[in-house]
Amino acid sequence: MPTSSPQWWKRPQKKTRKPDRAVSSQRPPEPAGPAASTEGGRRKRRRPEPTPVQRALGLLVRREHSRKELANKLAVRGVSRDEAEAAVERMAAEGWQDDARFAASVARWRAGAGHGPLRIRAELGTHGLDEAAVAGAFAALAEAGEDDWPRRAHELACRRFGDGFTADLARRRKAADFLLRRGFDGDTIRRATRGDPDLD
């Protein structure tokens, strides 16, 4: 008689049914197009392109510009030549742009930086300024007492080569070359490097 084992039968395992995955009732977000691009929950709007007049005004509020310089800068920024000229004309008519004021500003700035009249006149010439504007710039320097070119040249050479440079021939020659490159004329350089008594 076969011996029966206490585990001769097994209770059938119940199959556990896995819960169905929850089906989301929300639709996946649609990709945003260029017109619906958002940043921080707010719609991001593209700024309109500035007009030629607005571009010209933006340049002039930073510093003075000549008519030629202003038109060239507008052209570099993609403004057509006709539109650039029209914008410059409007800026001049409204007083935002003025060649005489620009010339006086450049002359004063260059003189203060140690440049001579020849260098200043040459730079003003590159802007296509007429002789009246250039003459007005030097007249403004004279009125402000800033046109003493021999004294300016002498002080500039002293700062570069020392107070006693006029007693040393080699230093005098170096000073003369330096002042020539700075845009001073020959007569001014001779007076500045020989210790002219009129400079005292």
Secondary-structure breakdown of the chain: helix, strand, coil percentages, each rounded to the nearest 5: 55, 0, 40
What pLDDT was estimated at residue 19?
52
Q: What is the pLDDT of residues 64-91, one digit of tens each?
A: 999 999 999 999 999 999 999 999 999 9
Lowest mean pLDDT among 12-26, 84-98, 133-147: 12-26
| Per-chain mean pLDDT for the chain | 85
Q: Are 87 and 52 in contact (CB under 8 A)?
A: yes
Domains present along the chain, CATH in parentheses = 52-93 (1.10.10.10), 99-147 (1.10.10.10), 148-200 (1.10.10.10)
- On the question of pLDDT at 52 being above 90, the answer is yes
As a whole number, mean pLDDT of residues 13-27 equals 52
Tell me the pLDDT band of 2, cut-offs 50, 70 and 90.
Answer: very low
Q: What b-and-e string marks burial along 153-171, b requiring 16 or more CB atoms within 10 Å of the CB?
A: bbebbeeebeeebbeeeeb
> Is residue 39 helix, strand or coil?
strand
DSSP state of 8: S
Q: Are 119 and 107 in contact (CB under 8 A)?
A: no
Compare 22 and 130 and report the one with higher pLDDT.
130
- On the question of pLDDT at 36 being above 90, the answer is no
End-to-end CA distance of the chain: 144
Q: Are 106 and 120 in contact (CB under 8 A)?
A: yes
pTM, to two decimals: 0.72
Residue appearing with tokens 């649609």: 30
